[in-house]
Amino acid sequence: MLNRLLSVAPMLDWTDRHCRYFLRLLSRRTLLYTEMVTTGAALRGDRDWLLGYDPAEHPLALQLGGSDPADLAQCARIAVEFGYDEVNLNVGCPSDRVQSGRFGACLMAEPDRVADCVAAMCAAVAVPVTVKTRIGIDERDSYAELVDFIGRVAAGGCAVFIIHARKAWLQGLSPRENREIPPLRYDVAHQLKRDFPDLTIVLNGGLTGLDQVVEQLAWVDGVMIGRAAYENPYLLAEVDARLFGDATPLLSRRQVIEAFLPYVERQLCQGTPLHSMTRHILGLFQGVPGARAWRRTLSELACRRGAGVEVIETALARVAG
């Protein structure tokens, strides 16, 4: 059983393997998600590149994008072969590119198809199969329609729903605008939990601090945070103690970087550019004297040819935390 009190959202171009390894240094218990991987990429692409990860990243969920039950079932099997702890189906992304592939938020208009996808995945694997969804799309945003969607997909075998508590406009708004303009409706997620007490309901959207997380846990089974964890990752440092009762001593920001350096060195030896890793740690010293110098040093020097761990050490010497 995965503990879902707190998780970090799948974020395209952000939650790659380097980001996840770094975040794991801050919290041992938080459930991490990959970037979305399409079924086409997983079936025909470089699987080691797309799906590989460091064992330290567990507990770890793979998010898939797709709408064909057979393809999703096969990808779920592949996920288990790679050792993922959960397989998640994306029914929340509103981008035009995702819609053109007939997956993401547009699938909310096809609850029976989503139920078939979930059923095929559940039949293929023993790990949890979960769904991340919005509370509605376009004019199809009534609570009755959401209840119908959740009920049908749950009948397909899904017991865990991650609810991004905004509707999505499939036309007229960019993905970024869809994260900001539709109003947050936490009350809808709360009502879902009351109406589906046997389901695990995880709330996502707009949460920026642990006080908010604790407040929402009175209403739902778990909370998923996204940009807040990426832009101010040190907020995860208190999670294990505050939410999970873990007595492991809290690492300082400096200790987190020192623990990250061996990983960076290993990746550099494998040909990974330094900036592919340092871009994820820019926000670690947010609010600390020297944070601007930290960010500037990493941004200016990590992209240079042959840049190594000395760049991080130089940046660390310029910050007070």
Q: What is the pLDDT along the chain (321 residues), one digit of tens a residue?
A: 799 999 999 999 999 999 999 999 999 999 999 999 999 999 999 999 999 999 999 999 999 999 999 999 999 999 999 999 999 999 998 887 777 678 899 999 999 999 999 999 999 999 999 999 999 999 899 999 999 999 999 999 999 999 999 999 988 788 888 888 889 999 999 999 999 999 999 999 999 999 999 999 999 999 999 999 999 999 999 999 999 999 889 999 999 999 999 999 999 999 999 999 999 999 999 999 999 999 999 999 999 999 999 999 999 999 976
pLDDT at 95: 82
Closest CA to 279 of 300, 310, 265: 300
Q: Does domain 253-317 have CATH number 1.20.120.1460?
A: yes
| Alpha carbon distances (Å) from 136 to 73, 200, 207 | 26, 19, 19
Q: Which residues pair with 64 in a beta bridge?
A: 37, 89
Class of domain 6-244: alpha beta
pLDDT at 123: 98
Are 225 and 8 in contact by the 8 Å Cβ rule? The answer is: yes
Q: Which of 93, 106, 122, 158 is catalytic?
A: 93
What is the domain partition of the chain in residue ranges?
6-244, 253-317
Q: How far is CA 165 from the centre of its chain?
A: 15
Q: Residue 284 is encoded by which pair of tokens?
A: 């670690």
Q: What is the DSSP track for 130-182?
A: EEEE-S-BTTB--HHHHHHHHHHHHHTT--EEEEESS-B-SSS--HHHHTTSS
Q: Is 166 left (phi over 0), alpha (psi -120 to 50) or beta?
A: beta
Chain position carrying tokens 């350096």: 261
Question: Which residues lie below 8 Å from residue 162, measured CB to CB, with a gap of 6+?
Answer: 7, 88, 130, 131, 132, 133, 202, 204, 224
CA torsion 292-320-19-264 (nearest 10°) is 110
| Alpha carbon distances (Å) from 199 to 142, 192, 221, 256 | 20, 9, 9, 36
Helix (H, G, I), strand (E, B) or coil at 196: coil
Rounded Cα–Cα distance for residues 4 and 29 (Å):
9
Chain position carrying tokens 């061996």: 262
Q: Which residues pair with 203 in a beta bridge?
A: 163, 223
Q: How many helices (H) and strands (E) does the chain have?
A: 16, 8
Q: What backbone torsions phi and psi does residue 18 show, to the nearest 5 degrees? A: -70, -40
Would you report the helix, strand and coil content of the chain in percent, each value rounded to 5?
A: 50, 15, 40
122 belongs to the catalytic site: no
pLDDT at 97: 72
Q: What is the DSSP track for 27-61?
A: -SSSEEEEEEEEHHHHHHS-HHHHH---GGG-SEE
pLDDT at 173: 81
